[in-house]
Every structure is written in structure tokens, then in C-alpha cells.
Chains A and B, each alone.
Chain A
Amino acid sequence: MTSPLLTVRNLSVTYPGDDGDVRAVRNVSFTLGRERLGIVGESGSGKSTTGRAIMGLVGHPGRIAADELRLGDQDLRGLSEHGFRKLRGKRIAMVLQDPKYSLDPVMSVGQQIAETHRTHLRSNPRDARRAALEMLEAVHIRDPERVYTMYPHQVSGGMGQRVMIAMMLIAGPDILIADEPTSALDVTVQTQVLAIMDELVRGRGMGLLLISHNLHLVSSFCDRVLVMYAGQVLETCEAGKLAEAKHPYTRGLLAALPQLGHRRADLPQLQRDPTWMADLV
């Protein structure tokens, strides 16, 4: 059994608040191997904060604490911003929801991809350009030469996400964290983008951490799913076995979703049990 790519044990992220500390993430533990792991939760569940903590993007005044937070053999706890910057892109990459906000609007997309290559692999401009074009082809863009010269505002949502994936994977990171990567996309485009991520992640033996609020999408795409609520992981489900979930929160969430084939007069509303907020550990 190969060692996991990412090990997280008892990760906690705390923010100081007006009425005491806010614990956005509480004692979250999981490992990520060469697989697709999904983290699902509603707003405020702490799923995005977890992803950010791993990337070192939890800024002051947030505080991170963990018994173990390792990327391979690199300890991420207490790593400086300088240290994280060397890792980001090269060993760990992140794709966010809207490429409009992640791409520099005054540079062509091709140049940005090439720049990532040059930064992390210290290549010369010609090699970087070639690598960027290859990467654009890898995300199934048929006319990479043309797209290379386009600016972010000229590319549609789906293509923008492909560009982001290309940019994030070009330096060959070990894991990819995708935070709501398809939420802003049309439904037909969503499946395409996920398929591309799937293909690349499998082909490169990477691990993928998919963070989303969309239960069905995550459970149909990922190998395992973590369900988060109020900063904690309440349940872990295997792929496609979401219907057999045990925790009342997960079951309640599933029941509250309208289903195409199953019309009900009233959707059963989620009854929040205060005991779900209690510390599990």
C-alpha cells in the first residue's frame, strides 16, 4: 500500500470573533491517495477552509493547528509563506470556481500557463510555450495555438476552467484541490470539465480533492465522499453508496433534494439536531 499523498490528522482552523473564537474547521482527519476524494457540505461547513488550510491560504488572523498535516514527506504545519509558494503549483495546485477571478486579465491565457511552467521548472520561453500548448491539447482544446493568444475575457466559462486546469497541472503537482470548480458552469459543460480533470488526474497518478455543495455530483464522480457540517466530518461514504448513508444529517440532506422521478408534495425539511454541532473528538 503506497503511502498517501496527503495526510491530515485533527486539522483545526480557528478565527477570532466578536463573541469568542469561531472554529471553522474542527479536528478534521483524512488521507488522500491516488484517488478522487470529495468533501461535501453546505455553506459554513468549513469545506473551503479545509482546502485553503492545506494550501496555506488561511491568512491572519486565522490560526491553523493539526496533529499531522503532511504532503508526502513535507510537513505543512508552520510552513512560511515563502515555503508554501514553492509548493503551490509545483506539488499542490488549486482550481477555484470562477476562472475570471483567477486569471490575470491583461495577459493572454497562453502566456499565463507558460509563466507557471517557467516559474516552477525554470524553463526557457520556447520550452515553456511548447509545454503550454501541449497542456492546452491535454485539456482537449482542439486549436491550442489560437486559444494561447486569447485573453481571459474572451474565453467562455467552460474553456476558462480548462485553461485553469492546464495552468495548474503543467508543473506536475502531486495533488489537485478543486473548490467548486463547476458550480458556475452550465450542466452539460460541468460533466465535460469533470471528465477532463478525471482523465488528467488518473493519467498522472495524482490525487484529487473535490470540494462542492453538490451532493449528487460529488458522489457520482468521487471514489470517497466526506460529509462536513459545522467544521467537522460527520460521515465518510464510498462511491455511489450515498443512499446508504447513516448519519441523519446526510440522510436529511438527501431527502430534502427534489428528485426528478420522485415527485413529492412537500420536500421533507432538514431538522437540525443540535447534537450534530457537538465535538466528535
Chain B
Amino acid sequence: MIALADVTIAYGTGPRAVVAVHDLTLAVAEGEAVGLVGESGSGKSTVLRAIAGLIPYASGEITLGGRRVQRRRSTAERKMTQMVFQDPYGSLHPNQTVDQILALPVAIHRLDRGEARIVQALAEVGLGPEHRYRYPHQLSGGQRQRVAIARALILEPRILLLDEPTSALDVSVQAEILNLLARLRRDHGLTLLMVSHDLAVIAHLCERIGVMSRGHVVEITTATAMANNQVTHDYTRELLRSNAGFDRSGADRNLDVTAA
């Protein structure tokens, strides 16, 4: 469903260009859920944005649903891939009601039965008619994220990209959203590609996990393997260790840094 072959993504051009992702190759089968985990600067969010068609990629090939895609997409191509962003506060227009936010994609793609679609989209994410005409600042973080998910799904995409969808949410709300995403994936047969820095969250939702560091995929493993610490790359091991919490006895920990 999603295939990246030797994709390189860079910011800027010429000698000052910064390469964010180097020769990435990754494949996601239809209906599969794959996670990309890494720290800041790893390039994981950059990959997502290139797949979404928000930024261009310098070389390689990105294929979605069998079709090769570039930065500029046709309306039909846009329909196939949607994304849920990290910040529930920033991903909704502050001066538009939920109704207007959901009506926009309907209008762009000239979908029929717009009214019914909006009502159904809200119901699917657990929101009701009382939320429909509220502004984002009248909603909680979890509710905003639900609206963002409803907006992504109203176009009936086949691929759903998730950029740290629960990082900005409280623990209790995170559980609700993760459950919602799992259910929607089952119900709609979605292909998921999720990015996060939180190993536990990724392992919960995804079967296969790609570990990225400084623009490279250092390992592709499974949630089960991670759980049993059967990983091959040192960096993955380090991530797993840090994820386990603070280790009092970390006597071998090197705390030194330099400005270089």
C-alpha cells in the first residue's frame, strides 16, 4: 500500500541543503500498521510529511496504492491519504466551528450527502450533535483530537498517517484515543503509518516498528521482539532502556556532553 524506495528528503537546495532522510526503503502492506520511532532529528516526521505530500522529496520513489506520487497531488490522490497531527490545539482552525472544519473536505471533493457524512463522522469518533457547532477552544484536548480524526476519515482514505497523535494528551485521554484508532482501523481496514517517540504507544498499535536515527532506518523489528528485548541494533537497545524509566543504578551512564 505504501512503498518507499531509496527516498532522500532534504531541506533547502544547493550546498546549504540539510539532508533529513537518507535512502529510506520501507513498505507497508494494505491493512498493516507500521510504526516509526526515533528521537528528534531522526527524520521520522519528515518521512510522514513527504508521504502526505506536504514536502517534496529529492530522490527515490514513493508509491501509494500502486501509484507513484510526487509533492503535487491530484484531488483523487489526496483523498487516499490523510493525516492526524500531533497538536490538537494547532491542527484545527481556531475561528471555525467543528461543523465548518468537517465541511471543508466535503466541499473540496464535492462529496454528496454532506450533512449525513458530517453527522456520521462525528458519531464514529464518539462526538455528538452538541459538539458540532462548537469552536476548538470550547473543546478539550481529547475532543479536538477526535475532531481531527473525524476530519481525516470523512474523506474515506485508505491510508491514515499519524504524527504523534497522543503526545500532547493526558494519559487517560491517550488511552481513549488509542482505543478509538484501533477500532477505526479494524472497522475501515485502514493502513496505518504512525510516528512517535513513545515505544509503548507504538508497540500498542503497530505490529512492525522501524527505528530511525539521524535520517536512517537502523532496524525494522516487531512489537513482540521489542517486548522481549530481542533487538539487534545498539540504538534500539538504548531506546528500550530509556523507555523503562530512570535507572538509579546506572553507574555506567556517561553524563558528559560537549558543545560540539
Contact = CB atoms under 8 A, between A and B. Distances in A.
Interface in B133-182: 141, 170-172, 174-176, 178-179, 182
Most buried by A among B141, B244, B258: B258
Interface string B221-245: 0011011100000000011101111
B171 A196 contact: no
Interface string A253-279: 100111111111111111010000000
Contact of B247 (A147, A220, A253): A220
Contact of B259 (A143, A196, A219, A259): A143
Interface of A: 42-43, 140-143, 146-147, 150, 155, 157-159, 162, 186-192, 194-196, 199, 213, 215-217, 219-221, 252-253, 256-270, 272
B196 to A, nearest CB: 10
B200 A155 contact: no
A195 B255 contact: yes
B171 A266 contact: no
Contacts of B253: 191-192, 195
A263 B197 contact: no
B96 interface: no
A200 B259 CA distance: 21
B126 to A, nearest CB: 11
Given A188-B242, A220-B247, A267-B179, A213 B197 contact: no
B12 interface: no
Given A213-B170, A267-B178, A140 B255 contact: yes
A199 B250 CA distance: 12
Contacts of B39: 186-189
Interface residues of B, number: 41
Q: Which 10 A-B pairs have the closest CB atoms?
A: A220-B245, A258-B204, A256-B175, A270-B172, A186-B39, A42-B170, A221-B246, A267-B175, A140-B255, A187-B242
9 contacts: A159-B257, A187-B243, A192-B257, A195-B246, A195-B253, A217-B245, A260-B200, A263-B224, A264-B204
B256 interface: yes
B2 interface: no
B215 to A, nearest CB: 15
Nearest to B202: A258
A187 B42 CA distance: 13
A269 B259 contact: no
A142 B250 contact: no
A192 B255 contact: yes
A52 B204 CA distance: 36
B246 A188 contact: no
A258 B258 contact: no
A158 B258 CA distance: 11
B259 A256 contact: no
Contacts of A155: 259
Nearest to B41: A186
B199 A260 contact: yes
B257 A140 contact: yes
Contacts of A150: 259
Contacts of A158: 257
Contacts of A141: 256-259
Interface string B179-203: 1001000000000000001011101
A43 B175 contact: no
B255 A253 contact: no
Nearest to A186: B39
Contacts of A192: 253, 255, 257
Given A140-B255, A147-B259, A196-B255, A269 B250 contact: no
Contacts of B59: none
B200 A266 contact: no
B91 interface: no
Contacts of B246: 191, 194-195, 217, 220-221
B184 to A, nearest CB: 13
A270 B173 CA distance: 8
A221 B141 CA distance: 28
A29 to B, nearest CB: 24
Nearest to A196: B255
Contacts of A143: 258-260
B200 A257 contact: yes
Contacts of A159: 257, 259
Most buried by A among B175, B224, B247, B248: B175
Given A195-B250, A253-B171, A146 B203 contact: no
Nearest to A150: B259
Contact of A260 (B172, B178, B182, B203): B203
A263 B204 contact: yes
A187 B239 contact: yes
A195 B256 CA distance: 11
B243 A270 contact: no
B254 to A, nearest CB: 8
Most buried by A among B40, B172, B199: B172
A111 to B, nearest CB: 16
